[in-house]
Amino acid sequence: MFASERLPLVVRYTELLATEGVVRGLIGPREAPRLWERHVLNSAVLGEAVPDSVSVCDIGTGAGLPGLVLAIARPDLAVTLVEPLLRRTTFLDEVVAELGLGNVTVVRGRAEDLHGAATFDVVTARAVAPLERLLGWSMPLVAPSGATVAMKGRSIHDEIEESRSFLARWRCGEPEVFEVGAGLVDPPTTVVRVPWADPARIGWPLARDPKRRPGRRRTAKREVS
């Protein structure tokens, strides 16, 4: 899950979550004792669903879950963390700087602020919103050959059925539900993956605008939208 040379980084990040994260109201005090199993490891196993050496955008990242954990575990990924609240992006900037994570960009803003401006191979989210609303934010950021890969709960099959008209209207592919982290976290993490049905016929009108720029970024900085 974490290579030996990356383990000190995730340990330090977890320490910061348990201290500064609690003080700044990013993590509830009751969550601090179970950060590893409930948050950090739970986020790290999402890497099983992310291809090698791709660009990743984590929307509504909060204190960096799962995006920052993925960036620590997978230095091959170019990760953009999107979060609208200043106190959270300030914390993320400080963590990125302290840990020297050159594969991370922190963006203060909403997912909608990047619509029409950037695309990514993978867009991730953790407990952000019901599926239809989440896809309305995430799919405009998904490259033609990419996908939304979101952490979800047991209600995901109901959410998929409730989103059928949206999925058809936006020409999304059939959602795939699977588990990651078997034998590593208990219970395993439930994930839903939603690609485009046909990369040449994306349902969101601006998705094929040639002025859109790729989402792959390598410098660690905050961009204010």
Average pLDDT over residues 41-64: 97
- Domains assigned to the chain: 7-145+212-224 (3.40.50.150)
* Rounded CA separation 133/136 (Å): 5
Average pLDDT over residues 135-154: 95
Widest pairwise Cα distance in the chain: 48
CB 141 within 8 A of CB 197: no
Q: Would the annotation count 65 as a binding residue?
A: yes
Q: Would the annotation count 126 as a binding residue?
A: yes
Q: Would the annotation count 111 as a binding residue?
A: yes
- What residue type is 77 in one-letter code? L
Evaluate if residue 209 carries a pLDDT over 90.
Answer: no
**Structure pTM?**
0.90
Of residues 116 and 58, the one with the higher pLDDT is 58
Q: What separation in angstroms does the CA of 82 have from each of 8, 23, 44, 202?
A: 25, 21, 18, 23
Predicted local confidence at residue 201, as pLDDT:
86
Evaluate if residue 213 carries a pLDDT over 60.
Answer: no
Q: How confident is the model at residue 128 (pLDDT cuts 50, 70, 90)?
A: confident
36-40, 118-122, 210-214: the lowest-pLDDT one: 210-214
Evaluate if residue 206 carries a pLDDT over 80.
Answer: no
* Rounded CA separation 179/124 (Å): 15
Say how many residues make up the chain: 225
Question: Of 147, 100, 98, nearest to 124 (Cα)?
Answer: 147
Predicted local confidence at residue 207, as pLDDT:
52
Rg (C-alpha) for the chain, rounded Å, is 17
SS (H, E, C) the chain: CCCCCCHHHHHHHHHHHHHHHHHCCCCCHHHHHHHHHHHHHHHHHHHHHCCCCCEEEEECCCCCCCHHHHHHHCCCCEEEEEECCHHHHHHHHHHHHHHCCCCEEEEECCHHHHCCCEEEEEEEEECCCCHHHHHHHHHHHEEEEEEEEEEECCCHHHHHHHCHHHHHHCCECCCEEEEECCCCCCCCEEEEEEEECCCCCCCCHHHHCCCCEECCCCCCCEEEC
Predicted local confidence at residue 215, as pLDDT:
43
Identify the residue whose tokens are 């099959």. Answer: 157
